[in-house]
Amino acid sequence: MSEIVAAHLNLIEAQDPYLNSVVTLNHAAMDDAARLDAGTTPRGTLFGVPVVIKDNIDTAGIATASGSAALASHVPAADAHLVFRLRKAGAVILAKTALPDFAMSWHGNSSRSGVTRNPYDLSRDPGGSSSGTAAAVAAGLAMVGVGTDTGGSIRVPASFCGLVGIRPTVGMVSRHGVTALVREQDSPGPLARSVADAAILLEAMIGWDPDDPFTALAALPPHGRTAQDVLRPRALRGARIGVLRQLCATAPGDDPGVARVVEESLTSMREAGASLIDVEMPGLPDLLQQTFMYLRQSRRDVNHSLRRSGAPFTDIADIVATGQLRPADVLLRAVAKSPEDPHHDGAYGRGLELRTHLQHQIASLYAQHNLSALCYPSVRVPAPSLTDIDGGAFDTRAPHSRPMPTNTLLAAQAAFPAVTTPAGSTSDGLPVGMELLGLPHHDRNLIALATDLERITPARISPELTTGLGSTA
């Protein structure tokens, strides 16, 4: 195990200066590997597997700053529950990975660590907010990694970096020790280079935690099968896949190369025996806008996490007041100005009501068409250039800009599970991710479908990390 861990640490030292994906190394990683080599601990399912952890997940003795320069010296006293479970399974925590401040951006840029780059093209963005985890895993700096997903923060980086990203049913993985954003939507999950690796990592994190009551519902259904049991071919044969065409349609600024890859992937699914049914959700844009809860409850939820963790600040407004932010942190500033108690906002209750309506609309599609999953591209563009981002391409304050064309809000705001898996690449070699959305607690069904989709998709092309000095691969 020590040789494997040392090799990955050497890769981080050699290649991460170009990616800027790692924010803090675990200096005890080699000691942890040596204990595994000594054979004094049971061999868990992740025995010796080098893992990177997003820096909004508590790690005992290792700084956890949620991407914020203001929290750079904050060191938690205890591991998050999911980290405890990973260690128990034998994983070795290599490092903490970069994210935008408090996970409130689609892009990999933070006040603490600066710009994170995409290993497929260093001039491009890896996606947010699990930007460092995705870039590190895609480049091979770790075998697998853990991110968090509130609006798409696992699935957008997975799409941009050619990875499998799983947003589990909320409560499958405990959020205790994870900085909250929208409590009913927050869901930690795996990022990996294959569905099998992602499923094995997810299985190690799943479990009841009395410190997160949401885990109770996930623990109640009889498991029967593990995630590994459903890693089988032919799951698409006979499956009924609802293609949400309004999320596949291209709008001005979308990339036709992404649309081409999506159509090719749909054709392959049909050839593999799946029945594709075009479905529609009337009024979906308005419904997503009305169930966007960040400006209604994120201040309360983040502040609760700050108090729980013993951070030097207890209100995100005070962190914003330090001035240690980037000009593009528009959402973070807006959250800091939102009500401390969402119940003082009359729109909060209406948003909760409409969230239930959104859930019922999705479930109705399943019932009406006897669906196995909904399907659409995770993002309708490939990884954008850092130049475009800096120029305000997705900053709605700037002229001629538009919102990030992501489809990931649907599963997030419904609090449903979803899997993003590589579907192919654009003509210039940039990955495209296809998303499968499922019903709550049917995660293993999604993993089975993703396994078969991976089987019929052209093999993932690993990035050849190039710099101005040549290739580092």
Active site residues: 54, 129, 153
Rounded to an integer, what distance in angstroms lies between the CA atom of residue 83 and that of residue 40?
20
Two tokens, residue 202: 């997810």
Contact 134, 213 (CB under 8 A): no
Hey, CA dihedral for 102, 107, 109, 115, is it positive or negative?
positive
DSSP-derived 3-state class of residue 201: helix
Two tokens, residue 310: 């013993």
Helices (H), 162-312: 195-205, 215-219, 245-248, 256-271, 284-290, 294-309
Contact 103, 156 (CB under 8 A): no
Contact 59, 76 (CB under 8 A): yes
Strands 109-110 and 92-97: unpaired
Hey, CA dihedral for 97, 102, 106, 109, is it positive or negative?
negative
Hey, CA dihedral for 304, 308, 314, 319, is it positive or negative?
negative
